[in-house]
Amino acid sequence: MIILLVPSLLLLFLVFGIPFFRYIWLSLHSFSVSTSLIPINNNGANWIRLINDERFWQDVIQTARFAILSVSLEIIIALCIALLLNQSWKGKGLIRAITLLPWALPTTIMALGWRWIFNNPYGPIEQFLSLVNLSELNILSSPYLTWIATVVADVWKTTPFVALILLAGLQTIPNDLYEALYIEGGNARDALLKITIPLLKPYLFISMIFRFSQAFGVFDLIQVMTGGGPAGSTESLALYAYLNAMRFLDFGYSSTIVIGSFIILVVICITSWIILKQTIYLVKQ
Amino acid sequence: MTLILRKISRKFGRRIILNNLNLEVREGEILALLGPSGCGKSTTLRIIAGLERPDTGEILINGANMTHIPPVDRKIGMVFQNYALFPHLSVGENLSLGLNIRGVPNKQIQVRVSSILGLMKLDDHVNKLPAELSGGQRQRVALARALLRDPSIYLLDEPMSNLDAQLREDLRPELRSLITSENKPVVYVTHDQNEAMALANRIAILNNGVIEQIDTPQDIYKNPKTYFVASFIGSPKINTVNQSNEILSAVRPEDIYFSEEGLNCKVLAREWHGKNQIIILDCSKGILRMICDVDTKIPTNTKVSWDKDKVYRFNINTGKRSILTT
Amino acid sequence: MKKSTKLWLIVLLIWSLSPLIWQLYSSFCTTDVLIKPFEIHSNRWTLDNYKQILNADIGFSKYIINSTIVGISTTFLTILIAIPGSYSLARLPVKIHNLTRSLILIAALSPYVLLFLALLEMARKFNLANNLILLSLPYSALSLPLALLLLASAFKDIPKELEEASRIEGLSSFQTVRFILLPLIKPSIASTAILVFLFSWNEYPIALSWLSNPEALTLPVAIARLAGSSIYSVPYGAYAAATVLGSIPLLLIVLIFQRQIVSGLTNGAIKG
């Protein structure tokens, strides 16, 4: 019986497993144009470089900040959308399809669209800002504001996905629970805080983990929308790894960044898992 | 045609499901496998069907050893508890699928399917999907599928448990006549004692993987060989009236009556059951239930008694019926 | 429907649609209108943007065809591998099942973007680059976790009794799969196929590193190139036209297969 699973496992190993080991091996070697593209063992020089690389740590902070803000906003907005869609009316399917649309479009297409929307001075947002005399904001040229624009674009694109998962969670909550609560004299707020959110926790958790790890690897959106700029203020770890490999042709260091990012992601996931477990434990007490 | 199980044992991990089980079902006989859930009755049925292998022991159908023969070659007609009708196939397709697979010529399939549809009064439903049928109709389709196989034995796994009580009673005679008309052994698994009593020629009571007793419905009730059988069969449950010297005495509710002399008790409750009533009494021996005619009046001085020869005695340690006559 | 519900629905629709409508609007505007939207123009509307995109050296339709080729071959390969795999996954003993399932979950959760370099190396080494059909190999692997989990949960939903009944009826294992199991999980196969198709149609980073031949670009890469060619240049009208054209196939897919997409995603979340 397990033989039937072999092709799947083989393909998964080929595409997920081998690269992983290859990255670890490469991260221990100099492998770039300066070594004439021949891997040379460099006794961990890549790792020392990574630890002292300010741009890497800057990108860690930028990536984490992007991921945390987008995922938090997505969860909150998605919960509202899910609550809204969890009622029955005519034409629900069409509205669901329209809501889903941003998620279904290629990231590069909508990243290009958002770049135009935030374009200075021709995009509608800057045009509007200049009408209300805020034209100096220059969102996409400001190192302080551009990342917010990328968050807006990411939230727009991925909220439908989260909303759908939460909607599925809402539909597993039996209606009699709410009826029992209303009979006990609870109001809509109690229903949300005492029933909906506690019972939705597994779904919130799944979408949070999934979205966070995806947002931590953000690439398409940044590359197309800002190219990592201005002044590297939106560069993500994946983009940095990509630039090292494709522009600087330094494959050894690029691999080090990949493995480094992966370690940081795992550390973040494990710590937040422990913190979440602790808080759930405290709440139960 | 006969079905014989010899020394069948089956374990799941460390749990013993069946322990050294012996069984014989003769042609034209309905044998009910009766017991509480988890007693091993479904496993027995699945072992007969070949869906599961016994750890030890053998299965003989018509004298041929079937222990290692795959289900299809055992010529089994099986009705599953949830009918296991293929939900994406119409009634007609459900019935003809097996015949098709076995390479029966199309014309013959048509003849056989339509005759069985007629027999089961399903003519109008050939093109319906199982989901469009009522519970009783689904059960008939499942039965029709088993009959179509022209099997050597019939295995029925709680075929009535998804039907409401009224329908069950209505279907019983029909079911009995259909499955016995061909003079083949029938094994009928159920947890409902009334159904077993009503349908079976003999009943095998299973408990913890062991057959406690095989007997006719009358004997199972009148002459239980173990305390388990006595307490499992009969409703309300048999009353324990005494316990001393490793002997447990028990009396059936219908054998208890009010009398001038006897055990002092207090009436706790009365339940009305049509022609009968059940009176629940509290006495020094504990709670007693008696069943009596609806017109029976409760005397002011409530004392109950029973005849000595109606007392069943069991050994407390072995649970076996004790032949002592004190 | 309550009034407030209606109001929020409208807000939701505006939020979801306005960027798209803006693209649509821009794509039909002349450059002058885009630069000075608040002035009065004699010639507001134009089809020039579309003409420009469709008459480029490599017509836009080429990219759509490329994406479709990748999408279809990936979907086909994924489903082909995932059906037997998920069946086996669903029927494995609990302990092995849970272990395999967690491994697959980890693969599904990891940010696959980071794989691009190693995959690029493989492509170079084995000369797989610029081949659209072969791109479906990494794509299938990337969609496999979702496909396996979705189909395995569909297989698990089929009562065991059905398989037993079919054995008693004399169907072989292959016949059972062909006549009983596959028809029953058809809806799940459809959902999975559409999700896989959407993923491979939209995928960017891996395609970016695998495809360098301008003739072989998929739509997302082509669009990104268009954008990368001149970051600050206006007019934008041509870009807008490109995004509109690139969105139309997906728009149709979402509208037609909305139900399958939703059930695929939700089943993936609940049971995966």
Distance, CA of A68 to CA of A59 (rounded, Å): 14
Per the CB < 8 A criterion, the answer to whether A256 and A250 are in contact is no
Tens-place pLDDT, residues C21-79: 888 888 888 777 777 766 676 777 878 778 877 777 677 788 889 999 999 999 999 99
CB pairs < 8 Å spanning A and C: 247
In a domain, A38, yes or no: no
Which residues are paired to C151 by β-bridges?
A: none
For B258, the enclosing helix (H) or strand (E) is strand B257-273
Task: Report the mean per-residue pLDDT for chain B.
Answer: 90
Q: Residues 95 to 134 of A: which have CB under 8 A from any C CB? A: 95-102, 104-117, 119, 122, 124, 127, 131
Please report residues of C whose CB lies closer than 8 A to that of A101: 16-17, 20, 250-251, 254
E strands of A53-171, at which residues?
none
What integer pLDDT is reported at residue B278 of this predicted model? 94
Q: What percent of chain B has pLDDT over 90?
A: 55
Q: Residues 219 to 258 of C: which have CB under 8 A from any A CB? A: 219-221, 223-224, 226-228, 231, 234, 236, 239-240, 242-243, 246-247, 250-251, 253-255, 258
What integer pLDDT is reported at residue B326 of this predicted model? 46
CB contact under 8 A, C170 and B78: no
Mean pLDDT of B159-187: 85
Handedness of CA A77, A98, A226, A57 (dihedral sign): positive
**What's the gap in Å between the CA of C82 and the closest CA on chain A?**
7
Instruction: Please count the other Cβ atoms lying within 10 Å of the Cβ belonging to residue B120.
Output: 20
Tens-place pLDDT, residues B216-251: 999 999 999 999 999 999 988 999 888 888 889 999
Tens-place pLDDT, residues B90-104: 999 999 998 888 888
Per the CB < 8 A criterion, the answer to whether B265 and B303 are in contact is yes
Distance, CA of B53 to CA of B152 (rounded, Å): 19
What B261-266 contacts at long range (C-beta under 8 Å, 24+ apart), as own/partner pairs, is B261/B303, B261/B305, B262/B303, B262/B304, B262/B305, B263/B303, B263/B304, B263/B305, B264/B302, B264/B303, B265/B302, B265/B303, B265/B304, B266/B302
Interface test with C, best of A105, A211, A250, A259 (most C CBs within 10 A): A105
**Would you state the structure tokens that stand for residue C75, as one six-digit string?**
């979907």
Per the CB < 8 A criterion, the answer to whether C239 and C175 are in contact is no
Q: Which of C5, C88, C269 sits opposite A5 (nearest CB)?
A: C88
Please report residues of A whose CB lies closer than 8 A to that of C254: 97, 100-101, 104
Q: Which of A1, A156, A224 sits opposite C91 (nearest CB)?
A: A1
Query: For domain B3-228, which architecture applies?
Result: 3-Layer(aba) Sandwich (3.40)
Q: What is the DSSP letter of B299?
A: P
For residue B152, pLDDT over 70 is answered with yes
For A169, the enclosing helix (H) or strand (E) is helix A146-171
> Exposure string (b/e) for A151-182, b if CB count within 10 Å is 16 or more?
bbbbbbbbbbbbbbbbbbbbeebeeeebeebe
ipTM above 0.90, yes or no: no
Q: Residue A144 in 3-state DSSP?
A: coil
In a domain, A115, yes or no: yes
**Would you state the structure tokens that stand for residue A129, as one six-digit string?**
């800002």
CB contact under 8 A, B76 and C183: no
Q: Which strands, in side-by-side order, build the sheet including B257-273?
A: B286-293, B276-283, B257-273, B303-305
Identity of the highest mean pLDDT range in A87-101, A108-122, B39-53: B39-53
Distance, CA of A57 to CA of C194 (rounded, Å): 39
* Residue partners of C267: CB distance under 8 A and separation at least 6: A168, C150, C153, C154, C188, C191
CATH code of the domain in which A177 resides: 1.10.3720.10
Per the CB < 8 A criterion, the answer to whether A222 and A234 are in contact is yes
Query: In terms of pLDDT, which residue wins out, C243 or B31?
Result: B31
What integer pLDDT is reported at residue C234 of this predicted model? 53
Please report residues of C whose CB lies closer than 8 A to that of B82: 159, 161
> Phi/psi class of residue A238: alpha, beta or left (left: φ > 0; alpha: ψ in -120 to 50)?
alpha
Q: Identify which of B83, B62, B81 has the alpha carbon closest to the alpha carbon of residue B73.
A: B62
Q: Identify which of C243, C225, C208, C233 has the alpha carbon closest to the alpha carbon of residue A219.
A: C208
First to last CA, chain C: 34
Q: What is the DSSP letter of A32?
A: B
Per the CB < 8 A criterion, the answer to whether C75 and C196 are in contact is yes
The distance of Cα C176 from the centroid of its chain, to the nearest Å, equals 31
First to last CA, chain B: 45
**What's the gap in Å between the CA of B36 and the closest CA on chain C?**
21
Distance, CA of C82 to CA of C151 (rounded, Å): 7
For C13, the enclosing helix (H) or strand (E) is helix C3-27
Distance, CA of B290 to CA of B101 (rounded, Å): 57
Domain edges within chain C:
46-270
The DSSP-derived string for C72-115 is HHHHHHHHHHHHHHHHHHHHS-HHHHHHHHHHHHHHHHS-GGGG
Domain edges within chain B:
3-228, 239-315
**What's the gap in Å between the CA of B254 and the closest CA on chain C?**
42
In this structure, are strands B76-79 and B210-215 parallel, antiparallel, or unpaired? Answer: unpaired
CB contact under 8 A, C164 and B49: yes
Q: Residue B261 in 3-state DSSP?
A: strand
Q: Alpha carbon of C143 to those of A1, C74, C112, C140, C197: distances in Å?
A: 22, 9, 10, 5, 9
Distance, CA of A187 to CA of A178 (rounded, Å): 9
Q: Residues 33 to 62 of A: which have CB under 8 A from any C CB? A: none
Which 3-state string (H, E, C) describes A257-281?
Answer: HHHHHHHHHHHHHHHHHHHHHHHHH
Q: How many domains does chain A have?
A: 1
Mean pLDDT of B298-304: 87
Interface test with B, best of C168, C180, C182 (most B CBs within 10 A): C168
Which residues are paired to B4 by β-bridges?
A: B24, B60
Tens-place pLDDT, residues A66-80: 999 999 999 999 999
Q: What percent of chain A has pLDDT over 70?
A: 97
**CA gyration radius for chain C?**
23
Mean pLDDT of B284-302: 88
Tens-place pLDDT, residues C176-222: 988 999 999 998 999 899 989 999 998 998 888 888 888 888 888 88
Tens-place pLDDT, residues A154-171: 999 999 989 988 988 888
Q: Alpha carbon of A122 to those of A180, B266, B311, C45, C87: distances in Å?
A: 56, 95, 101, 18, 55
Distance, CA of C227 to CA of C236 (rounded, Å): 10
Which band of pLDDT confidence, cut at 50, 70 and 90, is reported for residue A281? low
**Would you state the structure tokens that stand for residue B22, as one six-digit string?**
């012996």
- Domain C46-270 matching CATH 1.10.3720.10: the answer reads yes
Query: In terms of pLDDT, which residue wins out, A89 or A253?
Result: A253
> Exposure string (b/e) for B141-154, b if CB count within 10 Å is 16 or more?
bbbbbbbbbebbbb
Q: What percent of chain C has pLDDT over 90?
A: 20
Distance, CA of A12 to CA of A16 (rounded, Å): 6
Tens-place pLDDT, residues A222-269: 988 888 878 888 999 999 999 888 888 888 888 999 999 999 998 988
Domain with A169 in it: 56-249
In a domain, A242, yes or no: yes
Looking at domain B239-315, its CATH class is: mainly beta
The DSSP-derived string for B102-168 is TT--HHHHHHHHHHHHHHTT-GGGTT--GGGS-HHHHHHHHHHHHHHT--SEEEEESTTTTS-HHHH
Mean pLDDT of B287-312: 89
Q: Residues 236 to 255 of A: which have CB under 8 A from any C CB? A: 238, 241-242, 245-246, 251, 254-255
